Amino acid sequence: MRILVTGAAGSIGRVVTLGLCDRGHEVVGLDLVPEPDGFTGAWHTIDCADADAVDEVFGEERLDAVVHLAGHPDEADLPASLTSHVITTAALLDACVAHRVGRFVYASSNHAVGRTPRASLTDGVVPGLLTDQALPRPDTFYGVGKVAAEALMRLYVDRHSIDAIACRIGSFLDEPGTTRALSTWLSPDDCVRMVDAALTAPSPGFAVLYGISDNTRAWWDLEPGRRLGYEPQDDAEAYADRVAVRDVDDAEAAHVGGPFAGAEFYRPALDLRR
């Protein structure tokens, strides 16, 4: 497949770009910054919130799919979050429709449901695990942006019959470094497996999966991903001996979003002083 990867110079983007090329796909990179050393494919240095620039890229490249990883990976005020996650997604989805690109894979986040208390997970469809049936429950404006981007994907699937998969990524790290990450870790290799499965699953329509490794202490259900062919191979438990216990561990385990659900993230939505 010839795949546009947005945010291709970022930490997830570099891993995904290399991994997809290794699996025989052709990657067209897009980012705010020029290509990293060693990348030899087509590259576009643009802002994917710029709908005209995005449309031009789609006009130039014959694409089969989009993997949308671009976006500020942290909390911001509401307008910035909406631009970073929703406007970029809108520009890309409009271009998909205009240029008949039928597969859209999105780096959503666990923070779309991050304010879900872990204590509430005892009587769900899978006791102790959050499933893809969970209602949106964002923990931050970042999470609100991810929820809204997922809603936009759902709308475009219903209107235009494209396939769109929201990968609610946990903690993408080389290694889990905290107690929470022993539950939420997504290894680099599993991340590539996840994106490849989302790209190649036959006719998923709109689907949500949880982007974590096969962690012994997982908080999210891996079944929605497995239904799409995502078979994670790594387990954070292999690193448990190296993870130091911290005072904040209990507070971080109260909600699935961890620290993002804490009071230190509370701020006005329209913080004009920033």
Instruction: Write out the residues near ligand 15L by the rule CB under 6 A.
Output: 73-74, 109-111, 169-171, 184, 258
Min dist CB 169 to ligand 15L, Å, is 6
> Of 247, 261, 47, 41, whose CA–CA distance to 138 is shortest?
261
- Cβ distance to ligand 15L smaller for residue 57 or 144: 144
Report angle CA 214, 238, 113 to the nearest 5 degrees: 40
C-alpha 80, offset from chain centre = 18
Q: Could you tell me if 68 and 16 are in contact, meaning their C-beta atoms sit under 8 angstroms apart?
A: no
Per the document, the length of the chain is: 274
Whole-number minimum distance, CB 177 to ligand 15L, in Å?
A: 10
Shortest Å, Cβ 203 to ligand 15L? 28
**One-letter amino acid for residue 95 of the chain:** A
Three-state DSSP class for 154? helix
Q: Which residues contact 68 (CB under 8 A, 6 or more apart)?
A: 6, 7, 48, 88, 89, 92, 104, 105, 106, 107
> What is the closest distance, in whole angstroms, from the C-beta atom of residue 186 to ligand 15L in the complex?
9
- Measured from the Cβ of residue 199, the count of other Cβ atoms closer than 10 Å reads 23
3-class DSSP string for 89-124: HHHHHHHHHHCCCCEEEEEEEHHHCCCCEHHHHHHC
Task: State the minimum distance, in angstroms, from the CB of residue 179 to ligand 15L.
Answer: 12
Residue closer to ligand 15L by CB (options 169, 228) is: 169
Residue that the structure tokens 């509430």 belong to: 120
For the record, the structure tokens of 207 come out as: 């689907």
If the CB atoms of residues 61 and 81 are measured against ligand 15L, the closer one turns out to be 81
Token readout for 51 is 């709908």
Output the smallest distance, CB 93 to ligand 15L, in A.
Answer: 20
Which C-beta is closer to ligand 15L: that of 95 or that of 232? 232
List 106, 142, 210, 230, catalytic entry: 142
Q: Is residue 142 flagged as an active site residue?
A: yes
Active-site residue set? 142
